[in-house]
Amino acid sequence: MKISKICCIGAGYVGGPTMAVIAKMNPNIQVTIVDINQERIDAWNDKDVSKLPIYEPGLAEIVAETRGKNLYFSTEIDKAIDESEMIFISVNTPTKTYGKGKGMAADLKYVELCARNIADVAKTDKIVVEKSTLPVRTAQAIKSILHNTGSNVKFDILSNPEFLAEGTAIQDLLNPDRVLIGGESEEAIEALANIYGSWVPQDQILRTNVWSSELSKLTANAFLAQRISSINAISELCERTEADVSEVARAIGMDSRIGSKFLNASIGFGGSCFQKDILNLVYIARSYGLNEVADYWEQVIILNDHQKRRFSDNLISTLYNTVSGKKIAMLGWAFKKDTNDTRESAAIYVADHLLSEQANIAVYDPKVPSKKVYVDLNYLQTRSEDENKALVETFDDPYEAVKDAHAIAIMTEWDEFKTYDWKKIFNLMKKPAFIFDGRNILNKDEMTEIGFEYSSIGK
Ligand code: NAI
């Protein structure tokens, strides 16, 4: 089956970059990304590509090259569904905040709305591709909605989870370790494999059954997060035993069975996916009565929460057990470098903890807008919006942010932090000047030489 028009519902961190790369690599396919969020679509259509709603290295260039040629952004969802032979669902699947499974299960209402929308509009046969991360067996629900339309339209459902990492999305999409396609219909699987085949070697395109594909995505995220919690658990032990977690990570990482990636001790993982997907895995395991399986994976989250908490506890105890009225400068608000995404960022939780201890927080992040910092804190509802406004200040200049600060907390591993004039920063701060390096990016000897009281993770 030859595909000439595809659409993607959801113009977010996955839909945007993924479709931009598909459009770039398949100039003969018309790709339309639709969303209910008008503001987001307007930003995707902004003439100035530095104003795109998502920051990813290399993304603006690809959008500039393809937009208006074979890549379109629109809010006309029905029209795009009607015209396309293949429809990707790439909407958000957050953790449920209400009802059964609250705080654990994935909220599938947005996915279901998409399925109903497709069922209502489709007049010709469609291949529906699950791009969102979904609980195993979700395709069954989508199938049931689509197959009960009473029309003669044929729907094939594929699972095609996305493995890109924010911050390196474009590189990951252009050179994926693998592409995973789960489905029943060979014809539909090959139609999608052909699209990826224009730049991904066929032997890197895995074909599986739908359920393996859905479960592989949750499992991949659970394994990745587990490595971070594992090294973070060891980091606490290092701090008590004079072992150095970087040395331990290096020593174990050279074992080819273990491998060296994802072994950086830090303040803990954030982002929209790891926690949500593990909670979902735990929920699914429990719903099948697999309590040992559920407990095992839940521990990854418990350790991650502990790591964030112990970072702020350590900061407070080092500052003579009180941060009340003290200025703490936070460098970085994004959950990792090279993205403007702040979902589940460790910075939010550390700031919230310090604010509850009456600290004044100064935030600088190279890509996160000021507005977002307040939205993130207000969302927690720990205190009033006015209190957050009074206690938190954001800055466009890092040297302004650190002026008269009692301590600096490094929350994101942005490269630019390494190249700052740290002598100048030392001179601007109150003394003793403390640095809490939550990402282990600075050199301890250099910082101590300048005069800082420097502490990092796992050393
Ligand atoms: P996002 O929140 O950035 O984007 C989702 C978009 O879908 C939003 O713009 C929203 O307005 C839109 N939307 C929701 N319901 C809609 C509807 N009924 N019709 C039209 N548009 C609708 O989410 P993100 O980060 O792109 O994630 C999407 C999915 O991809 C999630 O399931 C996530 O778990 C998964 N994923 C995310 C990765 C990441 O790094 N962010 C990586 C791999 C998978």
Is the CB of 281 inside a 6 Å radius of any atom of ligand 1? no
CB 185 within 8 A of CB 129: no
Q: Residues in the chain with pLDDT < 50?
A: none
One domain, residues 292 and 164 = no
Q: Mutate which of 8, 9, 13 to test ligand 1's pocket (most atoms within 8 Å of Cβ)?
A: 13
One domain, residues 129 and 256 = no
**What integer pLDDT is reported at residue 1 of this predicted model?**
79
**What integer pLDDT is reported at residue 152 of this predicted model?**
87
Residue 335 lies in a domain: yes
Name which of 455, 406, 453 is nearest 428 in CA terms. 406
Residue 106 lies in domain: 5-208
Is the CB of 114 inside a 6 Å radius of any atom of ligand 1? yes
Helix axes 59-66, 15-25, angle to 10 degrees: 50
One domain, residues 170 and 256 = no
**Among residues 217, 276, 308, 327, which one is catalytic?**
217
One domain, residues 286 and 323 = no
Is the CB of 132 inside a 6 Å radius of any atom of ligand 1? yes
Protein residue closest via CA to atom 21 of ligand 1: 35
CB 80 within 8 A of CB 34: yes
Residue 213 lies in a domain: no
Name which of 281, 272, 313 is nearest 299 in CA terms. 281
Q: Which ligand 1 atom lies nearest to the CA of residue 132?
A: 32
Is the CB of 191 inside a 6 Å radius of any atom of ligand 1? no
One domain, residues 60 and 161 = yes
CATH of the domain at 407: 3.40.50.720
Domain count, the chain: 3
Q: Which ligand 1 atom lies nearest to the CA of residue 161?
A: 44
One domain, residues 138 and 284 = no
Q: How far does CA 94 lie from the centroid of its chain? A: 12
One domain, residues 298 and 313 = no
**What integer pLDDT is reported at residue 48 of this predicted model?**
96
What separation in Å is there between the alpha carbon of 132 and the centre of ligand 1?
7
> CA end-to-end span of the chain, whole Å?
57
Is the CB of 133 inside a 6 Å radius of any atom of ligand 1? yes
One domain, residues 201 and 283 = no
Q: Is 51 a catalytic residue?
A: no
Domain boundary among 283, 302, 321: 302
One domain, residues 76 and 155 = yes
Residue type, 93: T
**What integer pLDDT is reported at residue 122 of this predicted model?**
95
- 304-330 confidence digits (pLDDT tens): 999 999 999 999 999 999 999 999 999
Residue 178 lies in a domain: yes
**What integer pLDDT is reported at residue 308 of this predicted model?**
97
CA 430, 333, 170, 205 torsion-angle sign: positive
Residue 327 lies in a domain: yes
Distance CA 188, CA 127 (A): 7
Domain boundary among 208, 226, 247: 208
Protein residue closest via CA to atom 41 of ligand 1: 13
What separation in Å is there between the alpha carbon of 88 and the centre of ligand 1?
11
**Among residues 8, 114, 238, 273, which one is catalytic?**
273
Q: Which ligand 1 atom lies nearest to the CA of residue 16?
A: 26
Q: Is 273 a catalytic residue?
A: yes
Is the CB of 93 inside a 6 Å radius of any atom of ligand 1? yes
* Bridge pairing between strands 179-183 and 30-34: unpaired
Q: Which ligand 1 atom lies nearest to the CA of residue 131?
A: 30
Domain boundary among 302, 323, 350: 302
Residue 224 lies in a domain: yes
Q: Is 7 a catalytic residue?
A: no
One domain, residues 155 and 287 = no
Give 307's DSSP letter.
Answer: H
Is the CB of 221 inside a 6 Å radius of any atom of ligand 1? no
Q: Which ligand 1 atom lies nearest to the CA of residue 117?
A: 18
**Among residues 7, 126, 131, 162, which one is catalytic?**
162
CATH of the domain at 258: 1.10.1040.10
Is the CB of 87 inside a 6 Å radius of any atom of ligand 1? no
Bond preceding residue 432 cis, omega within 30 of 0:
yes
Is the CB of 14 inside a 6 Å radius of any atom of ligand 1? yes
Q: Mutate which of 7, 8, 14, 77 to test ligand 1's pocket (most atoms within 8 Å of Cβ)?
A: 14
Residue 48 lies in a domain: yes
What separation in Å is there between the alpha carbon of 169 and the centre of ligand 1?
14
Residue 142 lies in a domain: yes
Q: Which ligand 1 atom lies nearest to the CA of residue 37?
A: 11
Distance CA 379, CA 322 (A): 25
Residue 442's CB: how many other CB atoms inside 10 A? 19
Is the CB of 273 inside a 6 Å radius of any atom of ligand 1? yes
One domain, residues 181 and 33 = yes
Residue 59 lies in a domain: yes
Give 136's DSSP letter.
Answer: T
Q: What is the DSSP string of 76-130?
A: -HHHHHHH-SEEEE----PBP-SSTTTTTSB--HHHHHHHHHHHHH--S-EEEEE
CB 166 within 8 A of CB 13: yes
Is the CB of 33 inside a 6 Å radius of any atom of ligand 1? no
Q: Mutate which of 91, 269, 335, 339 to test ligand 1's pocket (most atoms within 8 Å of Cβ)?
A: 91
One domain, residues 16 and 67 = yes
